[in-house]
Structure formats: C-alpha cells, structure tokens
Structure 1
C-alpha cells in the first residue's frame, strides 16, 4: 500500500509510470500495425495470423496485461491533468503561453487522449466484436476476420473517420513518445534532439501505415 500511495501522490513517480506505460503502448501500436499489413498479403495469411493469436490461451493474459497498462496510463494522465488544472484555478481572459517549447501536440494531449479512448472502444465494437464470418483454413473452420475488416472499410465514411483518428494518434504520439523518455529520466541534451526527431518520424510511420491499410482495404473491397 505504501508503494501505491507513493505513486499516487508523487508527481515525478506518476510521470514515470505514464512514461513507461506510454512506451509499452507505443510498442503495441507498432506490432499491431505490422500484423495488420498481412491484410495486403491475403485473406489466408491474415486469418491465420488472427487465429494464431486468438487461439493461444495466453492471449487472455496478454489482453489483461494490455488493459492494465492502458488503464494505468489513462488514470495517471487524468490525475496529472486534474492536478495541473487545480494548481492554476484562474482562467485568464487572454490565454498565456504554456511554456517554452510548448507545441500544439503537447497542449492538446488530454483532448487527443480522450479521442483515442473513444476510438479504441469503437474499434473493439467494429472488429473484435463486429460481424462474425467463418472460413476454412487448412481444414479448420476459423473466423474470417479478413472479410469483417474489408466489409467495414467498404464505406468511405468509415475510412475517412479512421484516417482522422490515425492523425489524432499521430499527434498524440509525436509528443508522447519523446516525453516518455524525459519522464523516466532519459533527458540528456546530446540525445534528446535525436529522440524528438524519432518521435515525429514514429508518429508519421504509424499515421501513414494504418491509414494506408484502411485505404487499401477500401480499394480491395471495391474490386
């Protein structure tokens, strides 16, 4: 309990937890994107990948761990946001600069974070718990998740909304990735410029990568 109390009351500790969980989530985003690129390989390749993941009993442990990481990150973000707002209770008539080096991405982190939460909920509803089709793969009947994805992105509106949310994630990650290193104490002036560059590059890769998959699925569905 004393350790939990420390992390709940110490601002530096909360930022460190946010940094570690944020980096873990960034790793998941990349691995998830790479797996989704199998959609471009073909239905069998993607369905085999999806079946391999979901048929492994450890998937429940992995999903529970991911949920804990996400909720911890969200909780710490909300707590720090509320504490920062409480420390500045007066709303100025003219908005003052948020500090040296403040950017659009850094100043909108709470808002992009909430949008990402909404996107994740909708993503689970539309795909994990979406339309269920079955197909035969190597003599086994498995879920045809490929068809579910192609069917969803057949709508231009769904593709457009997905791309917008990918931009939101890119904005969030462009600041969150490098600030996570800063939060855990890796803030050397010699390396931080390179980390900030990699953060922006990483955000672009995620945004373009996920958006490309959605657009490809839309084109494929129209063939």
Structure 2
C-alpha cells in the first residue's frame, strides 16, 4: 500500500515538481561547489591543477558523474513533461495578459528557453574541458593534467567568452527562480520565512553567476595580456 501510494504521488503533478526540484537542488549544490573550486585560479596555476587532480584521480568521481547525469536527465525530462502537461491543461492562451503583480516574471516565463541554452552550454563546456587538448604539468613531483593552461587557452577566444557570459547570466536567472520554486514545492514559501527564502535564492544565484563570470573575465583581460 505504501509503495503504491508513493508511486501514485510521484506520478502526480505535485510529485513530479517535487522530484524535479530535488534533481535541481543536486545541480544547485554542484554548481556552487564547482564555482568555489574554480576560484583557485586566482590563487595560482598549481593550486587549481592540484584541486582538479584531486577530483579526477578519485575513484568516486565516476559515481558522482553518474549521479549528476541521472539528476540532469530527470530534471530535463520532468521539466518537458510538466510543460507539455501544463499547456495541454490550459488549452488556449489567455486573450489578455495579466499585469502588475499577476504578470509572470521574466525568469518564470522563459525557464524553458533558459534551460535549453544552459543544457547546450553544459554539454559544450564538458566537451571542451573534459575532452579538450591534454597538457601535462608537474606539481610537487606529481605529473597531472594542466587544466589551467587549457582554461587560459580556451578563454582567449572572444566568442567563447561571450557565449560563456551569456550562458552564466541565464544560469543566474534560472537558479534564482528555480531554487525559489523548489522552496515553494516543498511548502516552505509560506508565512514569515517567504521573504527571507526569496532573498536567499536571489543572493545564491548572484554569488554563483558572479563567481563563474569572474573567471573568464580575469583570464581574458589579465592573464591573456601576458
């Protein structure tokens, strides 16, 4: 009975939103830690390469990658499913768009477009750095991949930098609205905590987006001039 009830819940609209939110939170946690780790480029090339080596040489990296891929696929599939379900239930668009407080926010109305661009960015970014040119360096007697050199090389392209910045701005919007929606799906957006949680989702999104954006800007404008 409990299994049947649980299965029925996760097939419902509320259950799908709940699962999509959980998958989104996994990626929200990942991008925050990934951004923080990448800030080591401001310390030194060795610090960044040692951090990258510590991650990629850990056997658990395959488990983590599989989990992230599964969460991403689940998030995307449920997002598409809920969007189609929502359009089907509405039937036709409203003749007059709501204004004022009832008018949907930019981040909310373009979540699908944002998600598509971000997904393309993630795939391209992964292909660029995971399967890009292999350079080697020696740090404290340990031979490892020189990802710092690859990063500096990639961010010398103005087109890639612009593409990166646009994608990260969209990621900021996506995270801000998405994290807030997760809080709402979990029933936390009621009462006195609602204003605080909304601000928290916005601050989180700004920190993540700004942290990532600072990296190509620094490399292109500072390191690239050397």
Q: TM-score range by the shorter chain?
A: over 0.9
Q: TM-score, normalised by structure 2?
A: 0.92
Alignment-derived partner of residue 220 in structure 1:
223
Structure 1 stretches of at least 4 aligned residues deviating more than 4 Å after TM superposition:
1-5
Alignment-derived partner of residue 128 in structure 1:
130
Alignment-derived partner of residue 85 in structure 1:
87
Compared with structure 1, are the counterparts of its residues 131 and 31 closer, same or farther at alpha carbon in structure 2 (3 Å cutoff)? same
| Counterparts of residues 1-223 of structure 1 (less than 5 Å) | 2=4, 5-6=7-8, 9-91=11-93, 94=95, 96-97=97-98, 100=102, 102-218=104-220, 219-223=222-226
Compared with structure 1, are the counterparts of its residues 79 and 37 closer, same or farther at alpha carbon in structure 2 (3 Å cutoff)? same
After superposition, the C-alpha distances for 1:37-72 in whole angstroms (9 at most, x for unaligned) are 011111110110001000010110111111111111
Aligned residues: 222
Q: TM-score, normalised by structure 1?
A: 0.93
Secondary structure at 2:137 match in 1 = strand
Q: 1:49 and 1:72 mapped to 2: Cα distance?
A: 29
Q: 1:102 and 1:35 mapped to 2: Cα distance?
A: 35
Greater shift, 99-108 or 165-174, is seen at 99-108
Compared with structure 1, are the counterparts of its residues 54 and 3 closer, same or farther at alpha carbon in structure 2 (3 Å cutoff)? farther
Q: 1:118 and 1:108 mapped to 2: Cα distance?
A: 16
Q: 2:130 and 2:32 mapped to 1: Cα distance?
A: 18
RMSD value over aligned CA atoms? Answer: 1.9
CA contact (8 A) 1:154 1:222 kept: no
After superposition, the C-alpha distances for 1:74-106 in whole angstroms (9 at most, x for unaligned) are 1111110110011123245x4523983621101
